[in-house]
Structure 1
C-alpha cells in the first residue's frame, strides 16, 4: 500500500507540469555544450595524449608552446580591457552626462565598431601601415614615402590598437547604460556642497558605476584574449604568438593533443578572469543607484571644452568605423595598396582570369571558390539563425514558464556557458567531439552539419537572451487558457507564442545570422576546402599575400552584416518600441 502510494507520488513528481520539457531541454543543452568540452578534456587524459600536458606546461618546449604566448595573451587582455574601459567610459560620459554637441550622433557611432569584424580592421591597418619587413606589398603610407617602423606595422602595438578600437563599443554600451541610472540628486548634492567636477567624477560617478566598469573590463578582456584574427594577421608574420594562434597552429600541424591542452588552459584563463570580475562586484554590499527618490537627468556643462572634446570623440569614432570601410573599399579596387587611391580596377570584383594579373585569380564574381563560399556562408547564417532561435526559444520558454526547481537553474547556467569559452577553443572542442565516429554515427568533420551544430551551440547565449526577452512579452494567461481547452504544448507554442513574438524572434535570428557570417575564431578550425566560408577564405587570401581579394570579400561581409543589422533593428523597434528611446 505504501509502495503504491510512493510510486504514485513519484509519477506525479516526474510528470508534474514542465518536468518532461525541462528534462528534454537540459539533455539538448548538455549534448550541445557540456559533452564537447568534456570530450576535449577526456581526450587529453588518454594514455597516448596525456603527455601533452607535460609538454605544454613543463617540457623543454613549454616556453615557446605556452608561456611566451601566455604572456602575450595576458598583455593583450589587460591593455585592451583598460583601453576599452577608458575610451568607452569617456564616450559614455560625453553622451549621457554632458552637453557635448551631437550627442546622439556620437552615441550611434560608438555602437558601430563591434559590427565590423576584427579581421576587417586588421586588414585595413595592414593596407595603411604595412612595411617591407616580411615582403609582399607595402602599405599606403610607405608608398607615399613614409618610413613605417616595424613596431607600428607588425606585432604587439598594432594588435593592441586594433583590438581596442574593436571592443570599446562593448564597454561603451555597458557603461552608458549604468551612467543613465546615476541619481542626479547625488550629483546636485555634491555641487551644492562645493565639490568640483573631478571630485564628483572620482567620488560619486565612478564608485556607483563600478559593476559596469568591471563587467565591461571583464568582457573586453575575455574577447581580446580569445581573438584569433587580429594577432594572426598582424602578429604571426613576425612570429608573435598568442594562445589562440598557438592553438590554431598545433591543430593545423596535427599535434591535436597539445592543441587541446592549450585550448583548455585558454578556457580556464578566460573563465577565471570573468569569475574574478563577478567576485569583485559581489563583494560590496550595494551599488544601488535607482531608488524611490528618482531625479531628473543632470548634465555637466563643458563650457569651452565642448567642441574640443567633440573633436576627440570624432577622431576615435572615425578611426574605428569610417576609415576602415573606406580603406577596405579602396584596397579592393587598387592593384597595389601602395597606391591606394589611384589606378583603380574592377578586376578584383568582376574580372575574368588573366595570367598576367593577380596570378590568374579571377574576380570574386567569377571565382568559383568565393561564390561557393558565399553560398555556404549564407546557408550557414540562415540555418544557424533558425536552429539557434528554435533551441533558444525552447530553453527560454522553459525557464520563463517553469521557473521552479534545480533543472531550470541548470538550464540557465548551461545555456550561458559558451560565453566563457573562446571561439577557437569551442571549435577545437567540436573537432574532438564530432570529428571522429561515435558508435553508429559517422564523423562530421568537413560537413555542413558540423558547422551548423557548433555555431548553434556557440551562439546559444545570444539566442536564449533574445528568446527570453520576447517570451516575457507574451502573457502566460493566453497559453493557460489554451491548455485548459486541451491544446498541446506544440500547438500552444506554434499558434500563440511564436505568432505573437515573431518580430522579436526574427530580429534575434538576424542578429545571430550577422554574428556567424562574420565570425572567424569559431570556424577557422572547422574550415575545409570542401566546406569554405567567407571569413576564413578572406583570412587565407590575406595570409597568402592577396590582400585585394581578402579586402573585397571583407567588404561583402560588411555589406551583409550592416544590411542585416539595420533590418534587425527595424524589426526590434517594431516589437519593442521602448527601445527607440
Structure 2
C-alpha cells in the first residue's frame, strides 16, 4: 500500500507550489533590488553616481549630512520608543495599575495613525510663522515658539516616537507577559525592593525584546519620509529618505538609486547588530515545563500616579492628534484653533476672498477621484497580497522543500526590513522602463499596485502562517485520500478554516496601504491621485486646513478598518 505522504503527485504538488511562490517573490522583491544595484555599477553614470554621493564636493549635502541627521533621528526614536513602550509594557504586564487592558489597547493604536497625521497635529500647536505660512496655537496665544521646537530635528523625533513606540510596546509586553512569576515572587520573599526587581531581574530577562523593539523602531524611523518632509524640509533639514525623493523627482535617478542602497544598508546594519546581540543572549530562558501564574508588582501609593502617566501618554499620542486635526480643519487660522469654526474647508464653495479661492475638499473633484482610487487600490492590494500570502503560508507550513522554502520565507519577510521609499525607487529602476516586449509601467496604477503588494507581503504571510499552522494536517490528508485535488482541498477545507486570520490580514494590509506615503510619493501620477498624496500636497502648499481635513478622512477609514480587524481577531490579551 502506498503511504499518503508518498502518493503519486504529492512531491510534484509540494515542489510546484513552493517553486511558483518563489518565482513570484523573485519578481516582486528580489529583482527590483538587484536592478538598482546593477544600474549603479554600470560604467559611466552608474559608477559616477557613487563618487558623486560619497566622495565629491557634493557628497556633504547629498549624503553625509542627511545620513548624520538620519542616524540621530533613528537613534533618538529607538531610545524614546524603548522608554515609552517599555514603561507602558511594564505597567500593563507586571503591575497592578488600574485600567491595564484599556492602556494595552490604546498603546497599539498609534501605529495605525499615519505619521503625517501626527506631524500635522504637531504643527497645529507648535508651528511658527518665521519660515512662511501661519503659526500654530501657541504663537496665537502670544508665545514665542523657537524654531527648534517648530521645525527640524526635535519635532521630527518626537512625532516619530509617538508613531513607532507601539512597536516596542508590542514586543516588550509579549516578553514581559511570559516572565515566570516565580522569579518575581522569590525576589519579593528575600526582601528585594521593586527597583531591585525591575533592574536586577526583569530588565535582564527581557533585554532581547527591548533590543528587538528598539531595532524595529530604528528601522522605521530612518526610512520614514512623511515626518522629515513636513517638519524638516521647511528649514532645509534633509534625511536620506527626503534626499532620495528629491533626486528621483529632479531626474537624477542614479544618485537616487545609490541613496536607496545606502538607506537599505543603514537599516540592515542596525537590524543585524540587534540580531547579533540577541543571538548572544540566548541564556535568558524563563519559560519552563512547569506552569507559573504571573506575579504582579504592587505599586502601593504610586499606583494611581503611574496609571495616570500611562493614560496621559496614550491620550496624547492617540486621542489628542485626532482632536487637533479636527479643530485645525475647522478653524480659519491655526493661531486660534477653537474659535470662528467653519465648514468651508470641508464643504465650502470656491470663494476668491477665502482660502485663496480653494473650495472645500468635498467640492474638489480631486478628492472624489483620490478617495475612489485609494479605496480601490487598498482593496486590490490587500486582496492580492493576502491571496499570495495565503499560498506562501500553505507552502511554508504544509509543503516544505529544503533550501527553497527557506528562500521563500526570507523573501516574503524582506519587504518588512526595507525602507518604503527605497523600495519604490527599486521598482522605478526595474519596471520604469520596457523589459523586452513588456511596456514600461512607470506612471501606471499597476506599478503602484505591484510595489504595495510586495510591501504588504510580510503582514499577509505572517497572519496566514499563524492560522494555517493551527489547522490539522489530518483533514488535508483525509481529503487527499478521497481524491480531492489541491485546489479543491484549498478552497473547501483550508481557506474556510483560515478565514478569520485571512480576513484580519486583509484589513491590516488595507489600513497600511491607504495611509502609505513613502512608496506612493514616488510612484503616484496625476492620473492616479491618492488621499495621502492629496493631504501631503495641501500641506506642502500651505493649505493646512485642507490637509487636516483629508487626513481625517484617511483616519476615519483606517480606524474603521482597524476596529473591524480587532473584532475579527478576538485574541485574548494577557494584560488582565
TM range (shorter): over 0.9
**Residue in structure 2 matching 1:176, options 173, 176, 186:** 173
SS at match of 1:169: helix
Corresponding residue for residue 188 of structure 1:
185
CA distance in 2, matches of 1:31, 1:485: 36
1:205-216 correspondence runs (5 A): 205-216=202-213
Q: Is the 8 A contact 1:14 1:20 kept in 2?
A: no
What is the Cα deviation at residue 212 of structure 1? 0.5
CA distance in 2, matches of 1:159, 1:151: 10
Count of residue pairs the alignment pairs up: 568
Matched, 1:240 2:244: no
CA 1:285/1:313 → structure 2, altered by over 3 Å: closer, same or farther? closer
Q: Which range is displaced more, 63-72 or 289-298?
A: 289-298
Q: Which range is displaced more, 189-198 or 27-36?
A: 189-198
Q: Which range is displaced more, 477-486 or 87-96?
A: 477-486
Corresponding residue for residue 246 of structure 2:
249
Corresponding residue for residue 222 of structure 1:
219
Matched, 1:463 2:460: yes
The TM-score with structure 1 as length reference comes to 0.95
Corresponding residue for residue 382 of structure 2:
385
Corresponding residue for residue 305 of structure 2:
308
Q: Is the 8 A contact 1:348 1:552 kept in 2?
A: yes
Corresponding residue for residue 525 of structure 1:
522
Q: Which range is displaced more, 234-243 or 200-209?
A: 200-209
Matched, 1:265 2:262: yes
What is the Cα deviation at residue 527 of structure 1? 1.4
Moved over 6 A (4+): 577-581
Where in structure 1 are there 5+ consecutive unaligned residues?
1-11
What is the Cα deviation at residue 314 of structure 1? 2.2
CA distance in 1, matches of 2:477, 2:305: 59
CA distance in 2, matches of 1:211, 1:403: 29
**Residue in structure 1 matching 2:563, options 539, 558, 566:** 566
1:403-442 correspondence runs (5 A): 403-442=400-439
CA 1:285/1:577 → structure 2, altered by over 3 Å: closer, same or farther? closer
CA distance in 1, matches of 2:57, 2:9: 57
CA distance in 2, matches of 1:143, 1:434: 49
The TM-score with structure 2 as length reference comes to 0.96
What is the Cα deviation at residue 190 of structure 1? 1.6
What is the Cα deviation at residue 74 of structure 1? 0.5
What is the Cα deviation at residue 170 of structure 1? 1.1
Query: RMSD across aligned C-alpha pairs, in angstroms?
Result: 1.5
Q: Is the 8 A contact 1:37 1:429 kept in 2?
A: yes
Matched, 1:40 2:68: no
**Residue in structure 1 matching 2:70, options 65, 70, 73:** 73
**Residue in structure 2 matching 1:21, options 6, 17, 26:** 17
What is the Cα deviation at residue 473 of structure 1? 2.5
What is the Cα deviation at residue 66 of structure 1? 0.5
Corresponding residue for residue 450 of structure 2:
453
CA distance in 2, matches of 1:177, 1:345: 45
Describe the superposition over 1:70-119 as per-residue Cα deviations: whole angstroms up to 9, x where unpaired: 11100111111011101111111111111112222211211111111110
Describe the superposition over 1:126-174 as per-residue Cα deviations: whole angstroms up to 9, x where unpaired: 0111101111111011011111011100111111111111111111111
Q: Is the 8 A contact 2:100 2:575 kept in 1?
A: no
What is the Cα deviation at residue 348 of structure 1? 1.1
What is the Cα deviation at residue 294 of structure 1? 2.7
Corresponding residue for residue 9 of structure 1:
none
What is the Cα deviation at residue 302 of structure 1? 1.1
SS at match of 2:72: helix
Where in structure 2 are there 5+ consecutive unaligned residues?
1-7
Q: Is the 8 A contact 1:330 1:341 kept in 2?
A: yes
CA distance in 2, matches of 1:415, 1:216: 20
What is the Cα deviation at residue 475 of structure 1? 1.9
Describe the superposition over 1:240-293 as per-residue Cα deviations: whole angstroms up to 9, x where unpaired: 011001101111111111111001000011011111101101113422111123
CA 1:181/1:26 → structure 2, altered by over 3 Å: closer, same or farther? same
1:474-489 correspondence runs (5 A): 474-489=471-486
SS at match of 1:524: helix
Describe the superposition over 1:492-541 as per-residue Cα deviations: whole angstroms up to 9, x where unpaired: 11222112222221121011000100011111100111111111111111
What is the Cα deviation at residue 194 of structure 1? 2.4
CA distance in 1, matches of 2:312, 2:471: 44
Corresponding residue for residue 7 of structure 1:
none
CA distance in 1, matches of 2:501, 2:290: 33
Corresponding residue for residue 548 of structure 2:
551
Matched, 1:143 2:140: yes
1:82-93 correspondence runs (5 A): 82-93=79-90
SS at match of 1:571: helix
CA distance in 1, matches of 2:137, 2:573: 45
CA distance in 2, matches of 1:571, 1:296: 28
Q: Is the 8 A contact 2:86 2:169 kept in 1?
A: yes
